[in-house]
Structures are given as C-alpha cells and as structure tokens.
Amino acid sequence: MTEVDYYELLECERTADAGTIKSSYRKLAMKYHPDKNAGCKDSEAKFKAVSEAYDCLKDPQKRAAYDRFGHAAFRNGGGGAGAQDFGGFSDIFESVFGEFMGGGRGGGGRQQVRRGADLRYDMEITLEEAYHGKETEITVDISAPCDGCQGTGARPGTHAHACTTCNGHGKVRAQQGFFVVERACPHCHGSGQVISDPCPDCRGEGRVEKTKTLAVNVPPGVDEGTRVRLTGEGEAGARGAPPGDLYIFLHVKRHALFEREGTTLFARAPVSFTTAALGGTLSIPGLDGKRHEVKIPAGIQSGKQLKQRGAGMPVLQGRGYGDLVIQVEVETPTKLTTKQRALLEEFRETETGEECPQSQGFFSRLKTAFAGE
C-alpha cells in the first residue's frame, strides 16, 4: 500500500524544526479548510491528511517514533492509550527511549530489537507517467530473511538460547562510584541470545543477500522528489527482527513542451504576428491525450498568459486537476515573399500610430524627456 510521507504532506524537510512544521501546517490548513472550500471533497481529504500529519509531528515522542518506524509506528492500535501489541506506539517509544530508562517497561530490562535498515531507490519517470501514474517492477539487491533457518540464525533443528552473561536481557550493568552504568552485553552484543550452532547458509545472521523483484505503484500526480514507501521491503533485521522500509525517490524527466509548478503546467507558444493582431485559436496537445483549443484574443501582446482550467496535473492523493498556462510569444517573420512585403509596406503607409498605443506612448514620453536639450 502506498502511503504519503508526513513530511511531504506538510511540505517540510525531515530536519525541519517545530516552528517550521507548525507554520507550514497553518498555511496548508487555511488553504484546504472546508469552510473555504465548501463541498470540495478533495480539499476536505487534503485537510484531514495534513491535520493527521501535524498531529503526529508536533508531538516530540510521536515524531521520534515516526522518524524511526514510519507509519508502522501507529498500526495495531499503536496510537491508543491502552496499546499492548508489539509494534504499537508504547513499545516503539520504549524501543527509542528505553535504553536511557533502565531498559524496558517497568525496568524489566528486556533486550532491544533492532529493525533492519531503511533503503533508498531512485527511479526516473516521464512527466506523462507522473500524470497518469505507473505500475512497474524494480529489481533490488537487499538482505532478506534466510530460508534455511527462517531468519533465526540457528541451524535447522536447533535454536538459540538465552545468554548466560546477561540472562537474556541483552544488557549488563556495572557500578561506577555512585552511578550504575548500563551497556550492551559484550557476549551476545545486545541480542540477549547466543547461537551455539549457527545456520551454515547465513552464518548465524538470520539474513542473506538476495535479488528481489518488487511491484511499485506510482500514483498519479507525483512530483520531483516524491517518496513512495514500500513497507517492510527494506533490509531484513538480524535474527528475525522486523525489516526496514524501502523508499523510492522519484525524479521526473524534463519535458519537451511543458514545465511544471505544483499542479500547474506551463508552455510557451510562438504565435504569428498576424494571429496576434487578428486573433485566432491555438491547439495544444495535453498530457491527458486530448487537444485543448485556446482562444487567442485579437491584439494580444507577447508575454501574455492564457489559462486553460483543468488541463494541468492531477492532485496527488486527491481529486481534480490544476491548470494549463500558455504564455504567448509573438514571432516576427524573418522570411517574406515579395507579395507579403508589398502588403506590409502598404499597411505601413496607412499607419496612424493609433494601432500600437504602447509604442505611441513610449515615443511621446521620449520626446518629452529630451525636449529641454
């Protein structure tokens, strides 16, 4: 399942401080608030999403858990006050902070379970693929649970036993003056278990290097730098510990016609000076596969922008589309036939200056500026 990163929803970097996150949330909440977008389901969904993201990231404890475990931190009732399942927020909080608190709920001193590392994969897509979305497969080399021992690290038919040095806690304590210092057990390296007969396939690690083919669903509307998370597809944890996640960072190729800013598409369109003077219609092929007819008003000037509503990029994780903005660039002809030149000469003979008020105004101001010289 594709899950949008909380930092991405709030348009913040992962290193952003609390003030930056709060400021970004307020701006987005005001933009998508239902009172300002009455009846718009997309804005309502976006408002709920950014509110959920801010509710997590504004709390230092929840944010620490999210930074380490992602959305998995709040599954299985993890956000509730009475959560007891492993993987819930109370266990994750203990995993993040327990080593500074005597180890484990109630000082029980159970060993820390270290999940596998998160991994990164960079994928390049076209603007058309960003518009329509994409279902594809990728091949990655990662550490995966060992099939021989099912990830336990012990030879099949045997099992690990509790470390006698730390009594299975994974930690040992030493008195130093008035203080008691707790550190990882040097014998079992903090795992709390010792494997006397390791698996020959993984040498007791419980994981081996494998090549995996994974299905990736790129949702419509993604942008440069969007992260797609594949939960549990990162590096396998040692000896049966939970795996990390795989983050796919998307990079959108430069398009031959369109430039993008959010959900808005921009295009520059050269227009002949006769069309600019007399008006006409410009036909633009859209990313949706349709041709969009844009009306050019008579007398349009170079640099003028024309907007085609709903012809831009789709809204990520929502409904609706942005706009297509066409910037008109009036092109002066460089190759004229004899007849065309004659017609233009005839037109010039009839000019009064009223045809081009901007030029007339400029030369009037120029004449006034230098009248005293």
Angle at the Cα of 252 from the Cα atoms of 250 and 253, rounded to 5 degrees: 140
Beta strands 246-252; 119-125: pairing state: parallel
How far apart, in whole angstroms, are the C-alpha atoms of residue 300 and residue 302? 7
**82: amino acid identity, one letter:** G
Report the sign of the C-alpha dihedral through residues 88, 91, 94, 99, in that order: negative
How far apart, in whole angstroms, are the C-alpha atoms of residue 82 and residue 98? 18
CB 266 within 8 A of CB 259: yes
Q: Is 204 left (phi over 0), alpha (psi -120 to 50) or beta?
A: left
Q: Is 56 annotated as a binding residue?
A: no
Q: Is 163 annotated as a binding residue?
A: yes
Q: Is 40 annotated as a binding residue?
A: no
Secondary structure (DSSP) of 262-324: TTEEEEEEEEEHHHHHH-EEEEEE-TTS-EEEEEE-TTPPTT-EEEETT-SPBPTTSS-B--E
Q: For the beta carbon of residue 324, count every other beta carbon within 10 angstroms.
A: 24
**294: amino acid identity, one letter:** V
Q: Is 12 annotated as a binding residue?
A: no
Question: Which residues define the annotated binding site for Zn(2+)?
Answer: 146, 149, 163, 166, 185, 188, 199, 202
Question: Which residues define the annotated binding site?
Answer: 146, 149, 163, 166, 185, 188, 199, 202
